[in-house]
Amino acid sequence: MDHPGRLIKTYRERCGLTQAELAAQWHGPGCGVSVRYVQEVEAGQRRLRDPQVLRRLSALLGIPLWLFGLDEYDPDTGALSGPHLLALLEPLIRHAWQVRCSAPLPVIEQAVALPRMLIERYRALGEPRFLRLAAQVERLEAVLAVEQKRYPQALAHFQRMYATAQQLGEPDTLAIALMGIGTELERANRLPEAVEALEAASRLATRASRAVERLVSAYLARAYASVHDERHFGRAIERALCLASSAYGAEQGEAFVFQPLSGVLAEQSYGLLDLQQPRQALALKPRLLQQIAAERNSWLRAWIPLDWARAWLLLGEVEASVQELRDFLQHSLALGSPHMISRAFRHKRLLERYETASVRLLSEELEKLACSLPAESVAEDHYGLASDDRH
């Protein structure tokens, strides 16, 4: 390291401070030094050896601590910054996303808690790598909000992710943030706005990584299906499938995409149901189950029977729909997601149009179960209305 004075001068000028202004703030408000002292330090005529003074100047001028040759851990304050913080955050966030695919909701909440705390504590650290990780924590928060049935909060988290992405100006993070906004707008039945946001995400995704383009194309396809645009649905889902790879995570880098081939197939299945094509959705079942098993995606394995329950009901096969709904409910209860459980009750209400013995038995069982569940798990809401609710 060159003498600290050169660094201090460089960063002081970047901050737009004069030597006199820096001198007045050297040890904190009201605890300054002389201008001559600053001049001598910057000229290398005085050597700074007190680590606490260097840490103070680092915080004041935005000088990375490692440029002073200091460890990022401050034993007096317990503070982390720079490379040590980022080296800790990245695996924590990646672990949280991996837990998202396999563990019950309470475990996911625990996995997100530490990254959330670190991001909040060090929010002033504005370097690009930190901002990328902060954006991913907002995305994790949005995912949790959805599973907890806090849909407006999920949209707000994605909007904050987009604000962070704008600071970065990088296509990957911008595209994923807009995709999240579009998905939540679709959930709220604001379909024209949803398609607009997802199309903007798709335009950005052409300049992003392959994994991001695949992810955005799959969600855009589902939005087209929601507005019954079969032609554009077909194009978008074919693009996503062309980009898909079963080599889960191989090309993702820092994008934290975490949507393998099974995720694309699931969006195709959902879109086909919105387009009133239940037989085509059911035809995907063997391939989907094989891919889900290969990728060990417990959450998608839990969700997909609801698609098949909807498909069978569209075909008038009530008994098959009941059987798939039971499978979906069993997995939903194991994962502890109010969002998923509420969808089971919603489909149960659709089945109650049919006066069969199996439907009556299922209704009785779910009514008893409702007494032991949180109110939000069974409450009616106007969010996330699937096609089977609208037809």
Q: Please give the pLDDT value at position 1.
A: 45
Tell me the average pLDDT across 328-353: 94
Dist CA 216 CA 206 (whole Å): 10
3-state secondary structure at position 242? helix
3-state secondary structure at position 391? coil
Dist CA 292 CA 315 (whole Å): 25
- 210 vs 174, higher pLDDT: 174
Q: Where are the domains of the chain?
A: 4-70, 79-169, 171-294, 297-391
Query: Taking the CA of residue 24 as centre, how many other CA atoms within 13 Å lie in the half-sphere pointing to its CB?
Result: 4
Which single residue is written with the structure tokens 């489909």?
Answer: 347
Q: Please give the pLDDT value at position 252.
A: 43
Question: For 206-249, what is each residue's pLDDT tens digit?
Answer: 998 888 999 999 999 999 999 999 999 999 999 999 988 644 44
What's the chain's average pLDDT? 87
Equal CATH topology for 4-70 and 171-294: no
* Topology given in CATH for the domain delimited by 171-294: 1.25.40
Which is nearest to 65 in space by CA: 86, 46, 47, 44? Answer: 86
Question: For 121-171, what is each residue's pLDDT tens digit?
Answer: 777 667 788 899 999 999 999 999 999 999 999 999 999 999 999 999 999
Which is nearest to 180 in space by CA: 211, 151, 149? Answer: 151
- Does the pLDDT value for residue 386 go beyond 60? no
Question: For 1-12, what is each residue's pLDDT tens digit?
Answer: 457 888 899 899
Per-residue confidence band for 79, with pLDDT thresholds at 50, 70 and 90: low
- Does the pLDDT value for residue 380 go beyond 80? no
Per-residue confidence band for 89, with pLDDT thresholds at 50, 70 and 90: confident
Per-residue confidence band for 19, with pLDDT thresholds at 50, 70 and 90: very high
pTM of the model: 0.74
What token pair was written down for 269?
């299945």
DSSP string, 15-84: HT--HHHHHHTTTSTT----HHHHHHHHTTSS----HHHHHHHHHHHT--GGGGT--S-BTTTTB--HHH
List the single range of 27-31, 161-165, 182-186, 241-245 with lowest mean pLDDT: 27-31
Dist CA 3 CA 218 (whole Å): 54
| Helix (H) and strand (E) counts in the chain | 21, 0
Q: Please give the pLDDT value at position 85.
A: 74
Q: Give the CATH class of 4-70.
A: mainly alpha
Q: Please give the pLDDT value at position 258.
A: 66
Q: Please give the pLDDT value at position 374.
A: 80
Q: Please give the pLDDT value at position 136.
A: 93
Q: Please give the pLDDT value at position 249.
A: 45
List the single range of 40-44, 234-238, 378-382 with lowest mean pLDDT: 378-382
